[in-house]
Amino acid sequence: MLVETPVPLSAKSFCSALLHKKDTAAIRAILEGVVVCGEGLRSEISQIISRINLYIKKMTDLVKINKKCMSLISKHLLTGNGEGKYEACKIYEKLVDERSNEHNCLGCQFMNLHQEIYDNFTQINPSGFSIEFYFKTYIFWLYQNVERIYEIFEMINPDSRNSILKTYFEKNFITTKRIKRWTNFIKHPKAFKFTHHPKYFFESDLTDRNNLIILDAKEIEKFYSGTSKNKELYIKIAKKENVVVAFPNLVELTKNFCKEFITFTKFICENEIIASALKEETTIANYYGHLDYDPIQDSIGFALNDTIENVEWDIDNKVVFIPDQIYFGHGTKIENAADLVAELDEISTNEAILHFPTEYINECGPFSFESEVRDYLLENKENELKLIGWLSEI
């Protein structure tokens, strides 16, 4: 029995066409079409449709995955589980004497990396991204942390000559090593570049493994930790059409990455010999003395600008919205001037003090920048305040 259609497609070309679509609307339009097929191919077509539906679902799931990953980055690396400081600040503070205006590049770079990841990934909408694009982009940003961790251990234990330090690293930085292996796969694909139309899934979603050559975490560790198995890899995947890359669970990977960075922080801060050696290599004295830079006032100014310039003004309905990305998990609707000032004060203060020297925080805290918020609003948002009817209340 045959079902008629204007465009006959074989099962194989039907599968190929669908799996290479990026537009979900186009995919669904194809699924709603009618395909010429005999009764014997119906099972195959059904399996294909299930795979496409799964693909569409994965694109939607990336939004949830992204939000969960950024929540973990925020909690463990940026707010210190309620301590109100970057985790990397602990490295910075351990390796500088603020009374001497010292600056430490190691802690500073880690702080910047964590903030860059959070700031940018909280603002993207990954629903239109492929799994491949999102994973490779995200894993590379994590890798920039990982490579620095590797280099620090190489600095303090060249060629892994000290067996105690080598064992410590192998035992406590499993996810760190896994991220490095995945990045090796992305940067140096080896025989993978000779595969034909490989597919990408998250490992937990790959339920049907029949007749597939799967590159998962175990295989990546085996083939991308060195060159000794390059020939075996070539024989396994080169010129093959059924290769699937199974990415690890990114939420779990992010969670473990954060835990291992905290372990890395403790390793430096709780070992005086290690800290002393790193301080010698990564810290310079009198850093702020030759710069036209005031870490207090500039941090307040940056925080006010970043916060207030991203507020959304709904003039017609007399409300102001503070988007979620300004202060993750804190998005809110403001209906009067007093609440606006209070919310902006809280957000700007929390943002600014992340960049304050610890000694200044201890001596001068707690902080409030309510007057600075009012001044900024009057100077830069007078027109919006006038239109919404709140100018006199500021």
Could you tell me if 48 and 12 are in contact, meaning their C-beta atoms sit under 8 angstroms apart?
no
Whole-Å CA distances, 23 to 18, 47, 94, 374? 10, 20, 50, 46
List beta partners, residue 313: 320
Residue 34: predicted pLDDT: 45
Task: Report the 10 Å Cβ neighbour count for 310.
Answer: 13
Instruction: Give the pLDDT confidence score for residue 60 in this predicted structure.
Output: 53
For residue 153 the two structure tokens come to 């251990």
Tell me the C-alpha distance between 166 and 185, whole Å.
24
Question: SS in 3 state form for the chain?
Answer: CCCCCCCCCCHHHHHHHHHCCCCHHHHHHHHHCCCCCCHHHHHHHHHHHHHHHHHHHHHHHHHHHHHHHHHHHHHHHHCHHHCCCCHHHHHHHHCCCHHHCCEEHHHHHHHHHHHHHHHHHCCCCHHHCCHHHHHHHHHHHHHHHHHHHHHHHHHHCHHHCCHHHHHHHHHHCHHHHHHHHHHHHHHCCHHHHHCCCCEEEEHHHCCCCCCCEEECHHHHHHHCCCCCCHHHHHHHHCCCCCEEEEECCHHHHHHHHHHHHHHHHHHHHCCHHHHHHHHHHHEECCCHHHCCCCHHHHHHHHHHHHHHCCCEEECCCCEEEECCCCCCCCCEEECCHHHHHHHHHHHHHHHHHCCCCHHHHHHHCCCCCHHHHHHHHHHHCHHHHHHHCCHHHC
Q: How far is CA 28 from the centre of its chain?
A: 30
| Confidence at residue 311, expressed as pLDDT on a 0 to 100 scale | 84
State the pLDDT at residue 241: 93
| Burial classification of residue 181, based on how many CB atoms lie within 10 Å of its CB (0-12 exposed, 13-18 middle, 19 or more buried) | middle
pTM of the predicted model over 0.75: no
Return the pLDDT at 3: 41
Give, for all 394 residues of the chain, the pLDDT tens digit: 444 344 344 444 444 444 444 445 555 555 555 444 555 555 665 666 666 555 555 555 899 999 999 999 999 999 865 555 789 989 988 888 766 667 788 888 999 999 999 999 999 999 889 999 999 999 999 999 999 999 999 988 888 888 999 999 999 999 999 999 999 999 999 999 999 999 999 998 887 788 899 999 999 999 999 889 999 999 999 999 999 999 999 999 999 999 999 999 999 999 998 888 888 888 766 554 544 556 667 777 878 887 888 888 999 999 988 876 555 555 578 899 998 998 888 888 888 877 776 666 766 778 888 888 899 999 899 999 999 999 998 8
Residue 389's nearest CA partner among 311, 344, 335, 323 is 335
* Interatomic CA distance for residues 384 and 313, integer angstroms: 7
CA dihedral of residues 238, 241, 242, 246 (deg, nearest 10): 70
pLDDT for the residue 8:
40
